[in-house]
Amino acid sequence: MSSNIQRLLWSVAFLILIVYLSFTLWLGLTGLLYPYQLDYGEGIMLYQAKLIHQGQNIYKGMYGYPYLYAYYPPLSMVLSAITIPLLGVSYATGRLFALAAALGTAGLAARVVGRAAGSGRAAALAALFFLGSPYIYHWVPLFRSDLLALLFSVAGVYVVWRYPRSRLSFLSVLLFNLSLYAKQSYFAAPLATWAYLFFVNRRLALGLAALTVAVGGGLFLYLDARTGGGFAFGLIYSNVNPFYLDLLAAQAMDFLRTHPVLALLGLWYLWEKLTTGEPLLVKNPRAGAGAIGMIRRLDSNIQQFIQRKSLSTWDFYLVTGLLTMGLAGKVGAWENYFFEPLFVLSLASGLALARLEGMAAKRPALALALPALLLLQAAAMFHTPAVAARMMREDAQANRELAPIVASQQGMILSEDVGLLAVNGKEVPYFSFQYTQLAQTGRWDQSWELGQLRNRGFSQVILEKGTRENPDRYRRFTREVLSEIDRNYALAREVGKYRVYQPAPLWRELSIGFGQEVTLLGFDLEKDAGVSENPWQRAHAFQGGDRLRISILWQARQTPLERYKAFVHVVDWEGKTWAQSDSEPMEGIYPTSRWAKGEMVRDRHMLSLPAVMPPGRYLVRVGLYR
């Protein structure tokens, strides 16, 4: 009976993980055919791949038009540029490599566990843990560099582990450099490999490290010279994104909540490896006295410890890979900063399960606990393709509607979604995320973009829903930039997740204080003219039955301490109210308590004039109240 339950639990666990694998494959393959941006970072990478294909330099530094520069190494964009003649300027040119990299990385995980543990089931589980994770599911359809960098990192460790005494180990020089030239933060694998070899084969360790640094460093210096310092600026000096411990803690907790059993098995594997067998310190009387003797004894003890514990490069990579979680507190970091921790935990979990299966032969409770743990992990990773399918369907419709509008627009367009410009043949004049980070660290004065907005130099501004009322969500724009958008542009239409703004100077500019916290800077009065090329036509005379939009521009003189409601009332000269709107600013989605000092907010109010409203002159009263 017990064995039947075990087989059932194992079968159900495998079935669920295989279903997750099918989700990942579905999304990865669907992404190859999906012509629009799925992730914020894809558009800029596609645009820069297009520039490389055209023979242009993407490492230009921060000054000079256009205001964008590459801050990732070029490998992913170069591979995309190579395939543009075959696939055109499409996201498939980069997504193809991401999908292949994910599958290749999972294959290496299975290969390592199968060879090291001799268990086909554990090998399959290691691969399924990795590919079935929602973190990989979310990223496998994206034109991003992370999965490609991970593949080359893992492959570099693999060749040294598999061929430690062969010249094939020198392939790691190429593989580690490919990884670092895909994304510069993937240094955990080479450091782990060199650290392990330093105590096992010091000559090989120093040789591989020196050659890797020489090849990678030489290429770095060459590219930096060719780009006039732009390469070093983009990869090193411009990566000044603010770091927040609360962001790190939140993201780390999300990772652990999603992969609790992998973390448990990985830590058990490491603990079991380090605590069984001989103790760490073994006396070496020939080491001598003094500091040099102490160093020699420590070196000898570590070498013996590695040998007695049968440690490998993968054990060192488990440690360095987990440490990379510390980078996830940087603004812009998301699930991609946990790919190395996910891989090493998937690998360690496979190795741990192989060991525990051997122990379970004489422990019935453990034999039942193992598949139960897998079911718990599968439950923690629960996800379905429903959200992705709905999002792609809705975003595709929005992109199709916006495409002719963007393509026909003359002049510069400021778009949060750079992909809208890239796929519609438009130039990208300014990439907001990069310059927002520079501005927030005091390295950029924002004079260019603020000047363009004040002069209404952008013919169109396109933001995503949520950006204006939550500036700190993704930190893609400073409040100063969003304020100038509100002052000089008005929302013309909403298309799916996009908000399209057109130049719209205020009808009247004022400066009326409301207490010590808020100032009224001006207003605009417009009549709903229905669907037209310009949906809001200004009118100076109105009649009963009209729908009015009154836009008020507020400015916070200091950070408001309370949540105020704004009111707009249309009254006659006897004080009778004929139409009114009372709500927190921006239709209730951006309360005053979230405003910052100096911030400007354009607050829209819709009013319907009664059909029986008699002709005459009316007053519009505006104010704030608690």
List, in order of start, the domains of the chain with CATH numbers.
2-33+106-222+243-383 (no CATH), 385-505 (no CATH), 507-626 (2.70.50.60)
What pLDDT was estimated at residue 537?
A: 44
Q: Peptide bond before 285: cis, by omega within 30 degrees of 0?
A: no
| 620, 568 contact by CB (below 8 A) | yes
Residues 594, 468: Cα–Cα separation, whole Å: 12
Tokens encoding 511: 């400066």
**At residue 237, what are phi and psi to the nearest 5 degrees?**
-70, -30
Nearest Cα to Cα of residue 480 among 448, 502, 508, 509? 448
What pLDDT was estimated at residue 7?
A: 87
3-state class of 605 per DSSP?
Answer: strand
Q: Which amino acid appears at position 224 of this protein? A: D
Please compute, for residue 263, the number of CA atoms within 13 A of its CA located in the half-sphere on the CB side.
Answer: 14
What pLDDT was estimated at residue 300?
A: 72
Residues 94, 489: Cα–Cα separation, whole Å: 35
What pLDDT was estimated at residue 321?
A: 97
Residues 188, 92: Cα–Cα separation, whole Å: 29
| 50, 81 contact by CB (below 8 A) | yes
What pLDDT was estimated at residue 474?
A: 83
What pLDDT was estimated at residue 410?
A: 92
| 554, 518 contact by CB (below 8 A) | yes
Residues lower than pLDDT 50 in the chain:
280-282, 530-539
| 145, 75 contact by CB (below 8 A) | yes
Residues 189, 314: Cα–Cα separation, whole Å: 9
Burial readout 533-569 (b: 16 or more C-beta within 10 A, e: otherwise): eeebeeeeebeeebebbbbbbbbbeeebeeebebebb
Residues 517, 578: Cα–Cα separation, whole Å: 29
Residues 77, 84: Cα–Cα separation, whole Å: 10
Residues 535, 153: Cα–Cα separation, whole Å: 53
Residue that has been written with the tokens 């411009």 in this structure: 238
What pLDDT was estimated at residue 299?
A: 65
Tokens encoding 124: 């399959």
What pLDDT was estimated at residue 535?
A: 39
What pLDDT was estimated at residue 520?
A: 95
| 438, 444 contact by CB (below 8 A) | yes
3-state class of 58 per DSSP?
Answer: coil
pLDDT digits (tens, 9 = 90+) for 277-317: 655 444 555 555 566 766 766 767 777 777 777 889 999 99
What pLDDT was estimated at residue 6?
A: 85
| 462, 499 contact by CB (below 8 A) | yes
3-state class of 434 per DSSP?
Answer: helix
What pLDDT was estimated at residue 532?
A: 37
